């Protein structure tokens, strides 16, 4: 019996060793295969914003560093595809882009809810994107140029407030009007947030309804310090630690239902810079890209680059984005209908 027990024990140990060796071989083979695929390849990151904006800036930072973490160290470039508040790029990524792991996109955060809240022009289902991850959450802020009479939300409830619109900054004003009782008027046609700010300086518009707080601090801190702008309210679901005195848009909701509607629209700020692969990518290829993306947040060169650019880091992986997508889809029908009606106004 003792001899049989020893024999069985030795057999199990042998099997375990063989399994470990085979697993290591398969891992090496998979890594070699990925390296063979990506060697001498070019990965394109699509972004729906024009050069110089926050999304474009973040896409280029990722492009400069992610290739080092992908087997085969491919070249990574950024392709700007502005138009239709970012939908041109999102639709292309979903329907046209190659599904082999050589195309990915930094989509607008509002695209997490567009398909059922503002479906005009949407040619994708956000649940079918292969979400990679997000650099972090992003607080936004609404502000007016110093020469305008609008200093508070109460002022915007009394008289028309003219803002330039692109992506979120074009989407949110009618929602504010419906939920907060403000009188935003949007001038559309701008190709990016920086174009809106230039128009504000020129006097073409009075302000902007949503701009990245981290970009404001990094690029235009003098505007805050020198009081060139009036900070009206923050547009994220939580207040920015560096601007604790500036209230949240949720503080001005007219009632509980309208607060829920506003919350639905502001929820995507939790994953402010969502990167995705098209549908139809193999699980293995998606894992390669997601692993490389998450490795960025332990890469000293990448982190130094983000600090230099003033980019706020709070990484989320693809699973986190998928959970948010599912949570937002689960809002009660009457809230979704009210949110859609608010945008239509």
Phi-psi region of 227 (alpha: psi -120 to 50; beta: other; left: phi over 0): left
| pLDDT one-digit tens code per residue, 163-203 | 998 877 888 999 999 999 999 999 988 888 889 999 999 99
248 Cβ partners below 8 Å, 6+ apart?
Answer: 233, 234, 235, 236, 237, 238, 239
Residue 2 is predicted with a pLDDT of 46
Question: Does residue 131 register a pLDDT over 90?
Answer: yes
| pLDDT one-digit tens code per residue, 6-20 | 555 555 455 544 545
Q: What are phi and psi of 138, to 5 degrees?
A: -140, 115
DSSP secondary structure code for residue 80 in this structure: E
274-277/130-134 β-pairing: antiparallel
Give the distance between the most distant pair of CA atoms in the chain: 94
How buried is residue 200: exposed, middle or buried, by Cβ count under 10 Å (0-12/13-18/19+)?
A: buried
| pLDDT one-digit tens code per residue, 268-292 | 888 889 999 999 999 999 999 999 9
Q: What is the mean pLDDT of residues 318-337?
A: 93
103-106/274-277 β-pairing: antiparallel
Consecutive H or E run containing 116: helix 114-117
39-136+272-344 and 140-268 have identical folds: yes
In the CATH hierarchy, which fold is given to the domain comprising 39-136+272-344? D-Maltodextrin-Binding Protein; domain 2 (3.40.190)
CA dist 10 and 16 (Å) reads: 10
Phi-psi region of 287 (alpha: psi -120 to 50; beta: other; left: phi over 0): alpha
| pLDDT one-digit tens code per residue, 236-257 | 777 777 788 999 999 999 999 9
Residue 31 is predicted with a pLDDT of 52
The domain 140-268 is placed in CATH, from the list 3.40.190.10, 3.40.50.720, 3.40.50.2000, 3.30.750.24, at: 3.40.190.10
Residue 52 is predicted with a pLDDT of 83
CA 38 to centroid of chain Cα atoms: 26
Residue 212 is predicted with a pLDDT of 83
CA dist 241 and 137 (Å) reads: 13
In the chain, where the domains are located:
39-136+272-344, 140-268
């Amino acid at each position: 019996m003792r001899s049989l027990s020893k024999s069985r024990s030795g057999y199990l140990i042998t099997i375990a060793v063989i399994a470990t060796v085979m697993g290591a071989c398969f891992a090496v083979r998979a890594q070699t295969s990925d390296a063979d695929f990506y060697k001498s390849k070019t990965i394109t990151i699509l972004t729906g914003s024009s050069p110089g904006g926050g999304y474009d800036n973040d896409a280029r930072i990722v492009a400069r560093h992610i290739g080092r973490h992908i087997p085969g160290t491919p070249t990574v470039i950024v392709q700007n595809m502005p138009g239709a508040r970012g939908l041109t790029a999102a639709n292309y990524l979903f329907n046209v882009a190659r599904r082999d792991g050589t195309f990915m996109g930094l989509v607008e955060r509002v695209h997490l809810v567009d398909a059922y809240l503002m479906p005009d022009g949407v040619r994708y289902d956000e649940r079918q994107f292969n979400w990679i991850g997000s650099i972090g959450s992003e607080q936004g802020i609404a502000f007016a140029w110093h020469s305008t009479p609008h200093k508070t939300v109460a002022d915007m409830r009394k008289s028309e407030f003219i803002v330039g619109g692109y992506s979120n900054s074009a989407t949110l004003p009618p929602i504010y009007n419906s939920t907060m009782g403000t009188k935003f008027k949007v001038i559309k046609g701008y190709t990016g947030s920086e174009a809106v700010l230039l128009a504000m300086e020129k006097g073409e518009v009075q302000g902007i309804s949503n701009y990245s707080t981290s970009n404001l601090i990094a690029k235009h801190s003098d505007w805050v310090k020198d009081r060139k702008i009036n900070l009206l309210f923050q547009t994220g679901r939580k207040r920015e630690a560096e601007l604790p005195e500036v209230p949240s848009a949720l503080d001005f909701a007219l009632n509980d239902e309208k607060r829920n509607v506003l919350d639905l629209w502001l929820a995507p700020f939790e994953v402010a810079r969502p990167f995705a692969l098209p549908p139809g990518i193999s699980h293995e290829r998606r894992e390669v890209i997601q692993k490389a993306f998450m490795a960025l947040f332990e890469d000293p060169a990448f982190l130094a680059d983000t600090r230099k650019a003033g980019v706020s880091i709070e990484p989320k992986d693809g699973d986190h984005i998928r959970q948010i997508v599912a949570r937002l889809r689960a809002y009660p029908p009457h809230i979704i209908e009210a949110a859609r009606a608010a945008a239509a106004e």
